[in-house]
Amino acid sequence: MTREAVFAYAKEQFGTEPEHLWANDPGAAVLRHAGSRKWYALVMEVRRERLGLPGVGCVWVMDVKCDPALVGALRTRAGFLPAYHMNKDRWVSLLLDGAVSCAEGLQLLDMSYALAAPKLKKASRKANTDKQATEGTGNEKSNCDR
């Protein structure tokens, strides 16, 4: 998986363009959710020693927001690291050097996008709950279906 593949997917899937926020690091970019304006990914080049990786030089990584229940399990696998510069309980870094498959990386990008979505306000949540209570969810089964 490459950063170009990440950016192409984000544009096609979510209509998101990378934002280059740092003049001193023009290659680094964030991807923001259009509805909430929250970041759902950060793509940057980091020195290997800062990540605790062997060797010299830099490597491209993508930080994605993740279900906290998955973070620990992902970090035990090759290609995944504690999030660089983000909350390590809710974010994970993926190496963009081929260690993580493109399919898995994009699946995590989808999850991150969903987690960055705007939250429903209390009134909207209550209205949805009340509506479901009076109308049902539409998934109820009749006695004949059981």
Which ranges of 1-146 does DSSP label H, i.e. alpha helix?
A: 3-14, 68-75, 102-115, 122-135
Residues 94 and 43: their CA atoms lie apart, in Å, by 9
Residue 144: pLDDT over 60: no
pLDDT at 85 (0 to 100): 83
Residues 1 and 59: their CA atoms lie apart, in Å, by 12
Task: Decide which of 128 and 108 is more confident.
Answer: 108
pTM for this entry: 0.79
pLDDT (tens digit, 9 = 90+) per residue, 113-126?
999 999 877 655 56
pLDDT at 146 (0 to 100): 31
At residue 128 the predicted structure's pLDDT band, cuts being 50, 70 and 90, is: low
Sign of CA dihedral 97, 109, 26, 24: negative
CATH of 3-120, one of 1.10.10.10, 3.90.1150.30, 3.90.105.10, 3.30.70.980: 3.90.1150.30
Residue 132: pLDDT over 60: no
Q: Of 116, 121, 120, 113, whose CA–CA distance to 6 is shortest?
A: 113
Task: Decide which of 111 and 135 is more confident.
Answer: 111
pLDDT (tens digit, 9 = 90+) per residue, 2-14?
999 999 999 999 9
Sequence ranges of the domains in the chain: 3-120
CB 42, CB 22: distance < 8 Å: no
pLDDT (tens digit, 9 = 90+) per residue, 26-83?
999 999 999 999 999 999 999 999 999 999 999 999 999 999 999 989 999 999 999 8
